[in-house]
C-alpha cells in the first residue's frame, strides 16, 4: 500500500522543517496546578513517533535529548508528590503515552503504578488512535485501581480528507471508532481533541467543519470533546505558511462561533489552549491574534470552562463580533494546490512537484468528493491513483501507515528524531 502523495509531500517538508530544532534538556519534573481541582504534568520522552515521521502540520512539542525510563518514572513521582491534596483530575502525558517506542511497556506500568498513589479521581493522558490496544488500556485501568482513566485522542477533525490533506494525519474514522470501542470495552473514557484553525481552510470552513466534527465525534461514541485553537509554533508547516501570509491562526471569536453552532452539546465540550502553556520543550509561538477585541470573551470562555455553567457562554454568544474584512474565497482545491506547490518549491522539492503535481490534483479532487467541506465541482478524469471506494484510502493507511511511509522513519530508541 502506497502513502498518498499528499502525505508524502507534507511529511518530506515537515521532516526538513523540524530537522533544525535544537534538542532541549527536560527538567526532572513539571507540574502546573491549574486550579485547586485540576493539574497538568508532563513526563519526558525522546519525542513523538508521528512527529519524527513528519506528520501533523501544526505540531511542535520540541525534541528532547535522550531520556531514560527512570527519568520518565521520576517525573511522574515528582508530579504526584507535588499535587495539591484537593486535586481531583490529573492530566499527565508525554505525546503518545500508549506508543511502545515512546514509552516502553515496563516504564508505562511503573508510571501508572505511581499514579495509583495519587489522591485524584481521574487520570487523563493523550494517545494516537493507532496506539490504542486493549491490553495496554486494560493494564492502565487496572493499575489505576478504581480511578477513572480518560484517553484523549488527537482527532483534530472528523473529516478524513481534511485530516490527511491539511493536518497530515492520514488515519481513518474507522480506526478512530475502533479505538473508541477499545477504550470503552476497557472501562475507560474517550476524549476527542479537536483543533480549530486548520491550515488551508478559510474561517468559514473552520467554523463549519469543526462544529460538524463535534457532532460526528460524539456520534461515533466519544464521551467528551476538547476544543482548542491552534497556535503557530516554530518549525511547523503552519509556521512556514503563516510567514508567507498563507495562514492566520484563529482568534477566540472563531471558538465562540463553533460553540454557538453546537450549543446543544456544550456540556460535553471542554476548552484548552486558550492560553499558551509553558511546558518543557515549548516552541516559540508567533502570529498570535490580537486580544484587544476578545478580552471579555476570553473571561467568559474561561468562566464557562471552569464552572461548566451555561450562563457565561450565553453572554459570549450575545457579544457582537467586530467587523472582519470579507476576503474572496478561492476553492479549497486551488488553495491546496497553490500551498503544496509553494511548500514543494520553497523547501527544495521542485523536481518531485513537477513529477507529481497532476497526480496530487487528482488525489485532492477525489478526496474532496468525500469531504464535508464545500468545494468546487471541477471534474477530473478517473484514474487509479487512489482507490475510489469511499473511506478506503485512509482506512488502508491506518493499517499500513508505518510500513508504507515514504519518508525515513527515525528509530527513536537509538537516536534523535532529527538524527
Ligand atoms: S499532534 Fe500528536 S501525534 Fe502529531 S506530532 Fe504532535 S504529539 Fe505527535
Q: State which residues of the chain have pLDDT below 70.
A: 1-3, 325-328, 374-419
Q: Ligand 1 centre and the CA of 51: distance in Å?
A: 6
Q: Which pLDDT tens digit goes with each residue over 134-180?
A: 999 999 999 999 999 999 999 999 999 999 999 999 999 999 999 99
Reference 255, options 276, 230, 238; nearest CA is 230
> Over the Cα atoms of the chain, what is R_g?
21
Residue identified by cell 491490553 is 135
| Cβ neighbours of residue 258 closer than 8 Å, sequence gap 6 or more | 196, 206, 207, 210, 211, 214, 227
| Cβ neighbours of residue 377 closer than 8 Å, sequence gap 6 or more | none
Supply the pLDDT for residue 325: 67
Q: Ligand 1 centre and the CA of 229: distance in Å?
A: 15
Q: Ligand 1 centre and the CA of 126: distance in Å?
A: 10
**CA angle in degrees (0–180, nearest 5) for 253-257-261:** 170
Query: To test the ligand 1 pocket, which listed residue (15, 56, 193) has its Cβ within 8 A of the most ligand atoms?
Result: 56
Length of the chain in terms of residues written? 419
Residue identified by cell 457582537 is 320
Supply the pLDDT for residue 391: 31
Q: How many CB atoms lie within 10 A of CB 31?
A: 20
Supply the pLDDT for residue 192: 98
Supply the pLDDT for residue 329: 75
Supply the pLDDT for residue 4: 86
> Which atom in ligand 1 lies closest to the alpha carbon of residue 156?
1
CA distance 313 to 309: 8
Domains of the chain: 5-289+332-400 (3.20.20.70), 291-321 (no CATH)
Three-state DSSP class for residue 111: helix
CA distance 57 to 130: 18
Lookup: cell for 241: 505558511
Q: Ligand 1 centre and the CA of 95: distance in Å?
A: 6
Contact assessment for residue 92 and residue 39, using Cβ atoms and an 8 Å cutoff: no
Residue whose Cα lies nearest atom 6 of ligand 1: it is 59
Supply the pLDDT for residue 376: 39
Q: Which pLDDT tens digit goes with each residue over 205-232?
A: 999 999 999 999 999 999 999 999 999 9
Supply the pLDDT for residue 7: 93
Q: Ligand 1 centre and the CA of 54: distance in Å?
A: 10
Contact assessment for residue 62 and residue 280, using Cβ atoms and an 8 Å cutoff: yes
Ligand 1 proximal residues by C-beta, below 6 Å: 48, 50-51, 55-56, 59, 61, 95-96, 128, 154
Amino acid at each position: 500500500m502506497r502513502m498518498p502523495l499528499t502525505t508524502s509531500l507534507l511529511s518530506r517538508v515537515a521532516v526538513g522543517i523540524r530537522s533544525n530544532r535544537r534538542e532541549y534538556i527536560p527538567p526532572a519534573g513539571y507540574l502546573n496546578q491549574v486550579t485547586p481541582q485540576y493539574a497538568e504534568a508532563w513526563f519526558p520522552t525522546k519525542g513523538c513517533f508521528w512527529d519524527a515521521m513528519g506528520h501533523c502540520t501544526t505540531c511542535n512539542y520540541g525534541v528532547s535529548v535522550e531520556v531514560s525510563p527512570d527519568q520518565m518514572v521520576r517525573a511522574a513521582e515528582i508530579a504526584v508528590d507535588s499535587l495539591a491534596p484537593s486535586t481531583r483530575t490529573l492530566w499527565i502525558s508525554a505525546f503518545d503515552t500508549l506508543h511502545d517506542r515512546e514509552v516502553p511497556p515496563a516504564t508505562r506500568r511503573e508510571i501508572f503504578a505511581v499514579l495509583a498513589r495519587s489522591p485524584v479521581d481521574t487520570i487523563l493522558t493523550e494517545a494516537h488512535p493507532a496506539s490504542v490496544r486493549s491490553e495496554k488500556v486494560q493494564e492502565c485501568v487496572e493499575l489505576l485501581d478504581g480511578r477513572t482513566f480518560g484517553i484523549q485522542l488527537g482527532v483534530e477533525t472528523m473529516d478524513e480528507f481534511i485530516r490527511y490533506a491539511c493536518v497530515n494525519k492520514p488515519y481513518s474514522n474507522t480506526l478512530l471508532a475502533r479505538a473508541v470501542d477499545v477504550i470503552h470495552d476497557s472501562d475507560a473514557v474517550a476524549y476527542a481533541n479537536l483543533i480549530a484553525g486548520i491550515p488551508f481552510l478559510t474561517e468559514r470552513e473552520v467554523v463549519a467543519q469543526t462544529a460538524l466534527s463535534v457532532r460526528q465525534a460524539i456520534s461515533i461514541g466519544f464521551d467528551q470533546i476538547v476544543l482548542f485553537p491552534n497556535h503557530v509554533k516554530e518549525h511547523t508547516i503552519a509556521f512556514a505558511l503563516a510567514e508567507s501570509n498563507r495562514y492566520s491562526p484563529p482568534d477566540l471569536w472563531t471558538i465562540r462561533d463553533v460553540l454557538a453552532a453546537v450549543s446543544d452539546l456544550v456540556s460535553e465540550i471542554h476548552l484548552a489552549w486558550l492560553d499558551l502553556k509553558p511546558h518543557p520543550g515549548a516552541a516559540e509561538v508567533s502570529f498570535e491574534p490580537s486580544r484587544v477585541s476578545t478580552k471579555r470573551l476570553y473571561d467568559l470562555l474561561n468562566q464557562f470552562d471552569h464552572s461548566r455553567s451555561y450562563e457565561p457562554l450565553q453572554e459570549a454568544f450575545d457579544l457582537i463580533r467586530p467587523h472582519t474584512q470579507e476576503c474572496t474565497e478561492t476553492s479549497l482545491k486551488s488553495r491546496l494546490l497553490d500551498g503544496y506547490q509553494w511548500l514543494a518549491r520553497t523547501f527544495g522539492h521542485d523536481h518531485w512537484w513537477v513529477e507529481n503535481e497532476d497526480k496530487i490534483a487528482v488525489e485532492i479532487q477525489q478526496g474532496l468528493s468525500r469531504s464535508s467541506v464545500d468545494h468546487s465541482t471541477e471534474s477530473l478524469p478517473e484514474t487509479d491513483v487512489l482507490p475510489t471506494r469511499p473511506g478506503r484510502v485512509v482506512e488502508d493507511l491506518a493499517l499500513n501507515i508505518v510500513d508504507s511511509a515514504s519518508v525515513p522513519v527515525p528509530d527513536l530508541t537509538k537516536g534523535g528524531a532529527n538524527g
